[in-house]
Structure 1
Amino acid sequence: MSTPSRAAASVAAEARWFIRRACAGDFPALAGLWRRSVEATHDFLLPGDLERIGAEVATVYLPGLGEVWLAEEGGRPAGFLGCDGPHVEMLFVKPELFGRGVGGALLRHARNRHGALRLEVNEQNARALAFYQRQGFVITGRSALDSAGRPYPLLHLAWRA
């Protein structure tokens, strides 16, 4: 018996997620998803910073983005991607769905809309960096501070076609 090709498996995984544009009514649930994802991946954040950032996800960060795309499984949020044109500002997935294709499906959706993408990832988030590199991103630079001037170094990445 033959096994499905990698491409066929990818198509099957992608069909699992329904991707739609998020609306303001989705933002509270996405903020909760953000929190769970960050708690699972950003152990380097100071508790005060986690609280400050988390308090503004639904009210400042998500509404300020050009586009927010929501991946759903069975009508429930599985992950989301926020971007301004080709710049991915945030990509978060429910921790129990890490490695299941949600993030890749969202990136492909954004790439289909905007072409070559770019983004930043926290240098301390080795899991996310490895994910982006598997998706075809390469490091193009580094900043010692995050965009708010906090001591969380960022790696700048660009998708190579």
Structure 2
Amino acid sequence: MKIYEVKERTPQLLEQLLNIWEDSVRATHLFLSDAEVNKIKEYVPQVLSGVEYLIVAENEDGKPIAFMGTENSRLEMLFLLPTERGKGLGKQLIQYGIKNYGITEVTVNEQNPQAVGFYEHLGFETYKRTEHDEEGNPYPLLYMKLYRTVCF
């Protein structure tokens, strides 16, 4: 496996990452309806193009299997193919982000308890909660900071 920062965000790569995003969201964001996922999907390419640092994990065949985006010491996004979950890849990406980009904060949907538990396991703690997401939808968000670094 290879983890690297993307220098050129080609249409082909963005399409591959959009597919990872959709598969991941459909497997983990069970509180979203199909229509909501499709609506959010419309602006994901713009977010992927605009995030300061885009990091991709590829398998042995050079195919993207996960990605994260970060800026200003915040993890803005982390998505893995469902088949890659539970294998330590998310932890590897977070470690990479902490080491190379100084990640200390993340915002996570409260209704995604697996993600909340994942970040807590890695040393993040909730410091703020909102009733709605940034778009005003009724999806509570947890704002988490890395208060302690768990031995990796």
TM-score (norm 2): 0.90
CA-atom RMSD, angstroms? Answer: 1.2
Equivalent residue letter for 1:19: I
Q: Which runs of 5+ in 1 are unaligned?
A: 1-16
Distance 2:101 2:37 in 1: 30
CA distance change for structure 1 residues 62 and 116 in 2, over 3 Å: closer, same or farther? closer
Write 1 or 2 for the structure with the bigger share of helix: 1
Distance 1:47 1:98 in 2: 22
Report the 3-state secondary structure (helix = DSSP H, G, I; strand = E; otherwise coil) of the residue aligned with 2:24.
helix
Which residue of 2 is the match for residue 79 of structure 1? 66
The total of aligned residue pairs comes to 144
Which residue of 1 is the match for residue 44 of structure 2? 57
TM-score (norm 1): 0.85
Q: Is the 8 A contact 2:3 2:55 kept in 1?
A: yes
Structure (1 or 2) with the larger CA radius of gyration: 1
Distance 2:101 2:55 in 1: 13
Q: Which runs of 5+ in 2 are unaligned?
A: none
Q: Superposition pairs for residues 58-137 of structure 1, below 5 Å?
A: 58=45, 60-74=46-60, 75-137=62-124
Q: Is the 8 A contact 1:78 1:102 kept in 2?
A: no
Distance 1:47 1:143 in 2: 24
Identity of aligned residues (%): 33
